[in-house]
């Protein structure tokens, strides 16, 4: 696949780091740290917020992106990662794979599995119409209830995203079935403060299916 830079550097400037995005950063960092890795590869570095924080807690943190203007440690495409098998304890790949055509999705996640020793922390955009309710009673924990109404229309390429979970043709079950070819899904969830980001904590299977 021929690479095409989809966003300019100023994409990550004013207005990018919202409170919801910082909630996503927290989840990314927290899920990685809970796995207690000694080495991490972040694929798709954005503005380096997550990589910069992780590098203060983990000795070996490397970044990969096909946009050399973002100054990653490794300039490469996620569908063809120039690293040896089992190179990193954890591979972190958040809000990246929707930037490539869906027919490349399986190839990309196979590459993530190949270069990881064991774990992958993945997030993908999940579009829906949320209805949320939160309430707290004295002496009890806060209760959060969310209902997500599926989006019935097809996704149209907007210059950045080729596809999104929840759009017509991309149900979550379909995405999970593809992931299950190479991973065990330890857990998956949508963070209540940013349900657009659907997280998958994955464990690499010993044998990767073709």
pLDDT in tens, 88-128: 999 999 999 999 999 999 999 999 999 999 999 999 999 97
**Pairwise pLDDT comparison (161 vs 11), residue with the higher score:** 161
- At 138-190, the pLDDT tens digits run 888 877 766 666 666 788 888 899 999 999 999 999 999 999 999 999 999 99
In DSSP notation, 13-60 reads STTTS-HHHHHHHHHHHHHHHHT--SEEEEES-TTSHHHHHHTTT-SE
User: What percent of the chain lies above the pLDDT cut of 90?
Assistant: 68
Tell me if 9 is assigned to some domain.
no
How many domains does the chain fold into?
Answer: 1
Banded pLDDT at 60 (limits 50, 70, 90): very high
Domain range for 173 is 17-204
pLDDT band at 77; cut points 50, 70, 90? very high
Predicted confidence at residue 138, as pLDDT, reads 84
**pLDDT for res 111:** 97
Over range 58-65, report the average pLDDT. Answer: 97
Counts of helices then strands in the chain (DSSP H, E): 4, 9
Contact (Cβ atoms closer than 8 angstroms) between residue 6 and residue 99: yes
Mean pLDDT of the residues in the chain: 89
pLDDT at 209: 52
Q: What single-letter DSSP state applies at residue 145?
A: E
Give the domain CATH number at 44.
Answer: 3.40.50.150
In a domain, 118, yes or no: yes
pLDDT-based confidence at 2, cuts 50/70/90? very low
Is there a domain that residue 194 lies in? yes
What does the pLDDT read at residue 153? 77
pLDDT reported for residue 1: 43
């Amino acid at each position: 696949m021929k690479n095409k830079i989809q966003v300019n550097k100023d994409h990550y400037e004013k207005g990018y780091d919202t409170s919801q995005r910082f909630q996503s950063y927290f989840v990314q960092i927290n899920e990685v740290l809970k796995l207690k890795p000694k080495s991490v590869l972040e694929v798709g570095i954005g503005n380096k917020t997550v990589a910069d924080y992780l590098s203060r807690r983990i000795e070996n943190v490397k970044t990969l992106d096909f946009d050399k203007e973002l100054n990653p440690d490794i300039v490469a495409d996620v569908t063809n990662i120039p690293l040896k098998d089992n190179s990193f304890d954890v591979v972190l790949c958040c809000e990246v794979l929707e930037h490539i055509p869906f027919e490349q999705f399986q190839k990309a996640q196979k590459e993530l599995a190949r270069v990881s020793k064991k774990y992958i922390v993945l997030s993908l955009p999940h579009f829906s119409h949320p209805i949320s309710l939160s309430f707290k009673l004295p002496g009890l924990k806060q209760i959060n209830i969310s209902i997500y109404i599926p989006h019935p229309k097809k996704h149209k390429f907007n210059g950045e995203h080729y596809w999104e979970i929840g759009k017509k043709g991309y149900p979550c079950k379909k995405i999970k079935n593809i992931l299950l070819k190479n991973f065990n899904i330890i857990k998956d969830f949508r963070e209540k403060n940013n349900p657009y980001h659907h997280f998958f904590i994955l464990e690499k299977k010993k044998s990767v299916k073709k």
